[in-house]
Structure 1
Amino acid sequence: MIIDAHQHFWQYDPVRDAWITEEMQVIRKDFLPADLEPVLKANDVAGCVAVQADQSEAETDFLLRLAEENSFIKGVVGWVDLRAGNIKDRLEHYSQFPLLKGFRHIVQGEPDKNFLLREDFGKGIKALTEYDFTYDILVYPHQLPAVSEFVKKFSDHPLVIDHLAKPDFETGELKGWEQHIRNIARHKNVYCKLSGMVTEADMQNWKEEDFIPFLEVALEAFGPDRLMFGSDWPVCLLAAEYEQVIGIVKNFVSRLTAAEQQQIMGGNAVEFYKLN
């Protein structure tokens, strides 16, 4: 069974979605479950995890509504202000929704490279533990030193790094990224998503081999039991079709045992997010 552990939905709003620039015309429109379901079926994907793209509780509620109406959406990673003084009240509210599995903050967009280490943010992460919610780590490589400290601090909390922390596939520069990733992976509570790769490469001229050295590091560091496939649809459409994106990961894991392939392509997502 294949589970796409990372994709998005939105009703395009030019003000709210200002990050979708003029050059991104292909995704400057609505992307809803009716658009994704046939794509998943065509690729034998049984279900997906919908991840927040906007930092608002309205986004969380929107994704939950979609998940409740579409059984192939197996879980939601939403947003809540983890720095808020009333965070426990908000988590108490959201704990009534079984399809809500965890939360994410767009840390890659924060100017403070040590944002994850803020005291108020840490209190929010601690509160997530009490309510059994996961946390998705979205960062750039220059923020990985803070991630190393962060995962050490929350060594019992289920954490997952999105998009391999967005290394530089275009130049193939491994060194600094690899050192941090290996250090972070020593913490057995941390997983990693094989996702978001094609849009961090040369979007018009990427080749499958561009990703192999980075995937090798991730496999060696995390092992097949802590990696998950994610498409990052529809953002991936800027550089590739869904079939190409899933093909990169399928081809890479094809040398592994059938059981290991199943873990990476779906089993680990089911376990990490406690999907039904």
Structure 2
Amino acid sequence: MNTQPHIDAHQHYWDPARGDYGWLTPELKPLYRVFGPADLAPLREATNIKRTVVVQAAPTVEETRYLLDLARCDDSIAGVVGWVPLDSIDAVSIIEEFAHEPKFKAVRPMLQDLPDDTWIEHAPREEAIERLIDLDLAFDALIFARHVPSIVKFAGRYPKLRIVIDHGAKPPIRDGIEKGWQPWADGIAQLAALPQRLLCKLSGLATESKENWIDETLEPYVAHLLEHFGPQRLMWGSDWPVLNLNGNYRDWHATAQKLTAYLEKADQDAIFGGNARQFYRL
């Protein structure tokens, strides 16, 4: 059994009463409450996860400050992926403000929610992206397959920027292999082949599946990600508590371990902690 503590490279904390989670409505009953470090602690303990990377869930500077406040008070939070208005004249000053926080590690615009699928190609201010690079901060890309062409152009423009693709680019697993495999599969191959060696998160797959998924449901998608990114460029994340809509923490962790169990131990350790540690400078 692997006794090395794992890192969860993608999870969320939130408080709906803060009022800036536009997508988080009372209809999402399993999610519509406060989720904080105390809620995750027993799940981390049960799965041998020592630390986590907490990721923004609202497109506001205020929410990022909220997450950084949590991080100062909880050792289990190793890093914060925040939100910055990258198209604003204030972007550089906000990045510099956040960069004073040791646990601030990356930014994530919520590309999947923007009405313009090509936003990342033209909207971010060049000086903001260059400042991320100068400060050795990373970039989380929250995308679907339809965003791949724009991410390819963006990555080509900023070859020194460290980029990770969230949730395996969210394959439509619920549609089945016949309907949902393409263009996702080709998009993954295209992203993995970029010369700057993007990373990808082994996360979010349960959320994109039908109810009552099993290991075999997710296996082709995990295998495809492994084939193209390889174990040295994948990092496991829970996407908790969003995961609670279609699964639970222990089951997804166990499935990910089972579907990667054939790998060498060093490769397993990389997926479940080492790659996140290196990529996010934890």
CA distance in 2 between counterparts of 1:247 and 1:180 reads: 27
> Which amino acid counterpart does residue 107 of structure 1 have in structure 2?
L
* Cα 1:20–1:86 shift into 2, 3 Å: closer
User: What residue is the counterpart of 2:74 in the other structure?
Assistant: 70
Aligned residues: 274
- Contact residue 140 and residue 163 of structure 2 kept, 8 A: yes
5 Å matches for 1:1-276?
A: 1-13=5-17, 15-170=19-174, 171-172=176-177, 173-187=180-194, 188-202=196-210, 204-275=211-282
> Unmatched 5+ residue regions in structure 2?
none
Per-residue CA distance 1:59-100 (angstroms, 9 max, x = gap): 111111111101011010011111111322222212211110
* Cα 1:140–1:13 shift into 2, 3 Å: farther
* Cα 1:116–1:39 shift into 2, 3 Å: same
- Contact residue 60 and residue 84 of structure 2 kept, 8 A: yes
What is the DSSP-based 3-state SS (H/G/I as helix, E as strand, rest coil) of the residue aligned with 2:232? coil
> Which amino acid counterpart does residue 201 of structure 1 have in structure 2?
S
CA distance in 1 between counterparts of 2:69 and 2:219 reads: 37
What is the DSSP-based 3-state SS (H/G/I as helix, E as strand, rest coil) of the residue aligned with 2:108? strand
Task: Report which stretch shifted further, 209-218 or 221-230.
Answer: 209-218
> Which amino acid counterpart does residue 192 of structure 2 have in structure 1?
A
CA distance in 2 between counterparts of 1:122 and 1:185 reads: 24
- Contact residue 155 and residue 189 of structure 1 kept, 8 A: no
Task: Report which stretch shifted further, 69-78 or 178-187.
Answer: 178-187
- Contact residue 16 and residue 24 of structure 2 kept, 8 A: no
CA distance in 2 between counterparts of 1:20 and 1:14 reads: 11
CA distance in 1 between counterparts of 2:44 and 2:167 reads: 20
Give aligned-pair identity as a percent. Answer: 35
> Which amino acid counterpart does residue 40 of structure 2 have in structure 1?
L
TM-score in terms of structure 2 length: 0.93
> Which amino acid counterpart does residue 255 of structure 2 have in structure 1?
I
- Tell me the C-alpha RMSD between the 2 structures: 1.5
Runs of 4+ in 1 over 6 A off after TM superposition: none
CA distance in 2 between counterparts of 1:128 and 1:273 reads: 13
What is the DSSP-based 3-state SS (H/G/I as helix, E as strand, rest coil) of the residue aligned with 1:211? helix
> Which amino acid counterpart does residue 131 of structure 1 have in structure 2?
L
What is the DSSP-based 3-state SS (H/G/I as helix, E as strand, rest coil) of the residue aligned with 2:85? coil
> Which amino acid counterpart does residue 144 of structure 1 have in structure 2?
V
Task: Report which stretch shifted further, 169-178 or 8-17.
Answer: 8-17
> Which amino acid counterpart does residue 36 of structure 2 have in structure 1?
L
Task: Report which stretch shifted further, 173-182 or 60-69.
Answer: 173-182
What is the DSSP-based 3-state SS (H/G/I as helix, E as strand, rest coil) of the residue aligned with 1:4? strand
Q: C-alpha displacement at 1:186, in angstroms?
A: 1.5
Task: Report which stretch shifted further, 5-14 or 94-103.
Answer: 5-14
> Which amino acid counterpart does residue 99 of structure 1 have in structure 2?
K
CA distance in 2 between counterparts of 1:178 and 1:125 reads: 28
> Which amino acid counterpart does residue 222 of structure 2 have in structure 1?
L
Task: Report which stretch shifted further, 216-225 or 22-31.
Answer: 22-31
- Contact residue 162 and residue 193 of structure 1 kept, 8 A: yes
Per-residue CA distance 1:191-225 (angstroms, 9 max, x = gap): 000111111111x2322212111111111111111
What is the DSSP-based 3-state SS (H/G/I as helix, E as strand, rest coil) of the residue aligned with 2:185? helix
CA distance in 2 between counterparts of 1:236 and 1:221 reads: 25
